[in-house]
Amino acid sequence: MVLSMTGYGAATKQNQILKVEIEAKSVNSKFLDLNLRLPRLIQPLEMDIRNLINKHVMRGKVMFSANVQILDLGNAKRNINIDLFNSYLEDVKQLTTQNGLNDSNLLQVVMNMPEVLDTTTQELDAETAKLVMTCCQETIENLQQFRADEGKALSTELENYCNNIEATLKQIDQIKDQRIDTIKKRLQDLHDRYELSDKVDNNRYEQEVLYFIEKLEITEEIVRLNNHINYFKKELKGTGSGKKLGFISQEMGREINTIGSKANHDGIQHMVVDMKEELEKIKEQVLNIL
């Protein structure tokens, strides 16, 4: 299954004491680039959270942020930073007065300001740790589901690009023999020139015939390109590794370039340009795949 590296996931969990809100965003990256923003209360869980993300996400630049809101203020009284609380309270009161805002919820607002609750000497209890990790797990599951949905859309788009290349390749296969008349005329002119010559070098004539045949024959390239396209489609329905799909698209490009260099036909060369355009779309979208 194809997974996009672009994704979003969020989850919220709470108990009687606190509420945990977690958000995860991911974008393209060659490796897993993890940026964690955790409040002090749950920082002891950082390694557990990192290991959980590493296990499921694998690649991409991931911004993972958490917010913890204390619901039971009575339970947190012993850990209040009084000086900081008073400082925040004065600032918030001043802002509400200046802007004519409702000040009925000042206590809750100030209690959730940064560093008001001093948890540096308090161990994270098992119940809170379990709540946080459950919320992390759900966030990652939502992120992965988003990636799967995006991957499904990417897979359909990539298959359409492959189908476009296939359709153009069939047209090339159908008209490639139109070049035969031109080739025959060139070879006949060459033969006549040698026949009129005083010294006929049959070896030289045969070498030039073989040169024309080798230079213009594209059947093998058409077969190989078809095989690469089929392999690409198979991978889309399988593991769908972005790196592997990238390698296959490179091989497709080599065959398309060879067909173009051997075309010796305006119509075929125009079709080669069309195939290159579709291939560039493939390469661009493959970069978004996990």
Q: Per-residue pLDDT for 121 more than 50?
A: no
Q: Per-residue pLDDT for 120 more than 70?
A: no
pLDDT tens digits, 137-150: 999 999 999 999 99
Q: In this structure, what are the phi and psi dihedrals at residue 89, rounded to the nearest 5 degrees?
A: -60, -45
Query: Using CA atoms, how far apart are residues 100 and 127, in angstroms rounded to an integer?
Result: 40
pLDDT tens digits, 125-136: 888 899 999 999
Q: Which of 261, 263, 255 is nearest to 279 (CA)?
A: 255
Residue 184's pLDDT is 67
Q: Are 229 and 176 in contact (CB under 8 A)?
A: no
Distances (CA, A) of 173 to 35, 47, 272: 51, 58, 12
How wide is the angle at C-alpha 236 spanned by C-alphas 159 and 152, nearest 5°? 75
Q: Per-residue pLDDT for 261 more than 80?
A: yes
